[in-house]
């Protein structure tokens, strides 16, 4: 039998995508399966942003067997219980897309339907008060989940904020200590096979030629291999997600240390705020069709909580995805595969899920086309569902105070999203499409948060008397409030468990 095993992998790029990929491959394949080289150029900087995550990142950390406290210390990390959206529904309005459960389901019916019935009858506490992450966020509290029986303290879901540069450095140490070889140098040429168009080698500025069987393109927006060499093509989604620029700037920390990302809608986009231990990461994502770069920059600088720590950096992007995320013997991971703005902090997750999918479809030198097609089909499904979730935030709004919001509110949207919104409006139901990433609770929180109210609640809610529902709601809220009382503040929790050293 011929040995078709992949003997060498080259990863081009050493940003978050490159080092996450290198670390995971080193861990899963072990040091002896094949050689792994990562090529990066210090002359070409990484994007340097990408600091908010979603809870699935814990699976990645577990795959790498990371000690979470050490990871937090080394990346100046903080905890995240959700994303607070400000001004999205209308100016002055706020809601939290909180991680984890919403209330407590009763008799197999989603909590929301009981809440809906009661809210139609009287003035009751808002939905957020019935989520542990929502109630804790309001008081800047945090604790990791622990075995507390039926208490909501057992079910806290959380993610992280971290410094992107420190995260890549942390993973680099991890990968290099497990056999990944790093080569410093700028890729200036890519050699293709004349017969099948597969990539054979990359050439560095120094003249060094690096051959491999399999290439992973983590070169960022430029997509050096997947686009530069293979001309794979790009699907542009700007008509649905019109933002195409971002200014990013760090600023000094302020108190309290909030356990959530903030997304504040602006006249032609939105501003992020990501609190870390040593600073706050900020950025203004905007549409250059509706606002000038200068205006966007000054809106950002005029809306920082602390003193700016650097000059703002401008990033330009085109929302969309590569037509084939895996093409021939080249897989694109990270920004080279496509980009959607960080409104729901999904890019690092997409890196992680591409890595997981790569492990499922790990090739040999034959590069089975059916496997590659299925990989691409699954990857497309995942990004398209996330895309629709992001469009929801822009489209379902009452805002009519700028051209940008008028465009977003009235634009046509994908059919699948229209169906989801209409179904929810009708009876509060959300159909989760098999493996789509955001679950029904996330859809619920954002549809509710953006102001949609279903016309009817679940008919089986009427099995319970109004008094009984009311008592249950009071009980659930009491338990949540007691649990939050028990929690330390976010700052205290970090001080006691994972405080980073002074920088």
Q: What is the dihedral of CA 172, 177, 181, 186, to 10 degrees?
A: 20
Euclidean distance between CA atoms 88 and 93, whole angstroms: 7
Binding region for ligand FAD (CB under 6 A) out of 50-58, 98-106, 452-460, 483-491: 50-58
Nearer to ligand FAD, 91 or 314 (CB): 314
Could you tell me if 77 and 71 are in contact, meaning their C-beta atoms sit under 8 angstroms apart? Answer: yes
Tell me the β-bridge partners of 198: none
CB of residue 437 to ligand FAD, shortest distance in Å? 13
Q: Which of residues 117-156 bind ligand FAD (CB under 6 A)?
A: none
Task: Using the CB atoms, write b or e for 129-140: b if 16+ within 10 Å.
Answer: bbbbbbbbbeeb
Binding of ligand FAD by 87 (CB under 6 A): no
CB of residue 273 to ligand FAD, shortest distance in Å? 11
393 closest CA partner among 349, 340, 318, 316: 340
Residue 215: CA count within 13 A, CB half-sphere: 29
223 closest CA partner among 342, 361, 312, 320: 320
Q: Considering Cα of 329, then 335, then 341, then 344, what sign does the dihedral take? A: positive
Euclidean distance between CA atoms 430 and 445, whole angstroms: 11
Residue of 24, 246, 358, 441 interacting with ligand FAD (CB under 6 A): 246
DSSP state letter for 52: B
Residue of 283, 363, 449, 454 interacting with ligand FAD (CB under 6 A): 283
Strand, coil or helix: what is 77? coil
Binding of ligand FAD by 38 (CB under 6 A): no
Binding of ligand FAD by 23 (CB under 6 A): no
Binding of ligand FAD by 159 (CB under 6 A): no
Q: What is the DSSP track for 328-365?
A: TTEEE-GGGGEE--GGG--HHHHHHHHHHHHHHT---T
Strand order in the sheet with 35-40: 181-184, 35-40, 8-12, 214-217, 330-332, 326-327
CB of residue 337 to ligand FAD, shortest distance in Å? 8
Binding region for ligand FAD (CB under 6 A) out of 219-227, 229-237, 305-313, 379-387: 219-227
Binding region for ligand FAD (CB under 6 A) out of 1-9, 43-51, 384-392, 486-494: 43-51
Residue of 22, 24, 26, 47 interacting with ligand FAD (CB under 6 A): 47
Binding mask 312-351 for ligand FAD (x = CB under 6 A): ---x-x----------------xxx-----x--x-xx--x
- The answer to whether the bond into 256 is cis (omega within 30° of 0) is yes
Binding region for ligand FAD (CB under 6 A) out of 41-49, 140-148, 292-300, 465-473: 41-49
Euclidean distance between CA atoms 91 and 399, whole angstroms: 7
Strand, coil or helix: what is 246? strand
Binding of ligand FAD by 397 (CB under 6 A): no
Nearer to ligand FAD, 137 or 345 (CB): 345
Binding of ligand FAD by 278 (CB under 6 A): no
Residue of 6, 10, 13, 442 interacting with ligand FAD (CB under 6 A): 13
Residues assigned a catalytic role? 80
CB of residue 366 to ligand FAD, shortest distance in Å? 28
Binding of ligand FAD by 250 (CB under 6 A): no
Site residue total, ligand FAD (CB under 6 A): 39
Residue of 89, 110, 137, 219 interacting with ligand FAD (CB under 6 A): 219
CB of residue 269 to ligand FAD, shortest distance in Å? 11
263 closest CA partner among 141, 162, 393: 393
Tell me the β-bridge partners of 271: 264, 284
CB of residue 322 to ligand FAD, shortest distance in Å? 12
Residue of 28, 29, 44, 63 interacting with ligand FAD (CB under 6 A): 44
> At a CB cut-off of 8 Å and minimum separation 6, what does 268 contact?
286, 287, 290, 291, 296, 402, 403, 404
Binding of ligand FAD by 82 (CB under 6 A): no
CB of residue 332 to ligand FAD, shortest distance in Å? 9
Residue of 8, 222, 313, 477 interacting with ligand FAD (CB under 6 A): 222
Nearer to ligand FAD, 49 or 98 (CB): 49
Binding interface with ligand FAD (CB under 6 A): 12-18, 39-41, 44, 46-47, 49-53, 164, 186-187, 218-220, 222, 224, 246, 248, 283, 315, 317, 334-336, 342, 345, 347-348, 351
């Amino acid at each position: 039998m011929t040995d078709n095993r992949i003997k060498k992998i080259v990863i081009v790029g050493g940003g978050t995508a490159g080092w996450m990929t290198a670390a995971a491959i080193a861990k899963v394949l072990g040091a002896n399966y094949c050689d792994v080289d990562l090529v990066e150029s210090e002359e070409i900087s990484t994007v340097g942003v990408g600091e908010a995550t979603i809870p699935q990142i814990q699976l990645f950390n577990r795959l790498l067997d990371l000690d979470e406290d050490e990871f937090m210390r080394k990346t100046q990390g903080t905890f995240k219980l959700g994303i607070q959206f400000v001004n999205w529904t209308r100016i002055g309005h706020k809601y939290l897309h909180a991680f984890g459960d919403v209330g407590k389901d009763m008799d197999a019916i989603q909590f929301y339907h009981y809440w809906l019935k009661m809210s139609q009858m009287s003035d009751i506490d808002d939905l957020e008060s019935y989520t542990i992450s929502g109630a804790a966020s309001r008081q800047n509290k945090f604790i990791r989940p622990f075995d507390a029986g039926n208490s909501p303290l057992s079910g806290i879901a959380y993610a992280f904020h971290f410094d992107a540069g420190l995260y890549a450095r942390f993973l680099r140490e991890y990968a290099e200590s497990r056999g990944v070889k790093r080569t410093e140098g700028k890729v200036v040429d890519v050699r293709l096979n004349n017969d099948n168009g597969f990539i054979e080698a990359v050439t560095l500025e120094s003249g060094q030629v690096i051959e491999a069987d399999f290439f992973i393109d983590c070169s960022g927006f430029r997509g050096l291999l997947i686009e530069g060499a293979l001309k794979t093509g790009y699907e542009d989604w700007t008509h649905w997600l019109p933002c195409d620029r971002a200014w990013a700037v760090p600023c000094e920390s302020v108190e309290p240390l909030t356990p959530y990302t903030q997304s504040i809608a602006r006249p032609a986009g939105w501003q992020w705020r990501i609190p870390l231990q040593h600073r706050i990461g900020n950025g203004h994502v905007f549409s250059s069709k509706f606002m000038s770069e200068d205006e966007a920059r000054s809106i950002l600088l005029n809306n920082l909580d602390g003193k700016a720590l650097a000059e703002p950096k401008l990033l330009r992007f085109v929302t969309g995805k590569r037509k084939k995320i895996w093409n021939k013997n080249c897989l694109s991971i990270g920004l080279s595969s496509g980009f959607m703005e960080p409104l729901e902090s999904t890019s690092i997750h997409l890196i992680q899920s591409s890595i997981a999918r790569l492990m499922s479809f790990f090739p040999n030198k034959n590069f089975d086309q059916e496997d590659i097609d299925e990989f691409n089909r699954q990857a497309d499904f995942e990004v398209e569902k996330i895309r629709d979730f992001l469009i929801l935030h822009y489209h379902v709004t009452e805002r009519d105070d700028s051209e940008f919001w008028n465009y977003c509110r009235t634009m046509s949207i994908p059919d699948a999203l229209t169906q989801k919104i209409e179904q929810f409006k009708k009876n509060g139901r959300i159909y989760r499409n098999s493996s789509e990433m955001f679950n029904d609770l996330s859809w619920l929180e954002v549809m509710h948060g953006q102001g949609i109210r279903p016309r009817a609640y679940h008919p089986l809610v009427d099995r319970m008397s109004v008094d009984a529902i009311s008592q249950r709601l009071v009980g659930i809220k009491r338990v949540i409030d007691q649990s939050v009382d028990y929690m330390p503040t976010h700052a205290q929790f970090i001080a006691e468990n994972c405080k980073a050293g002074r920088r």
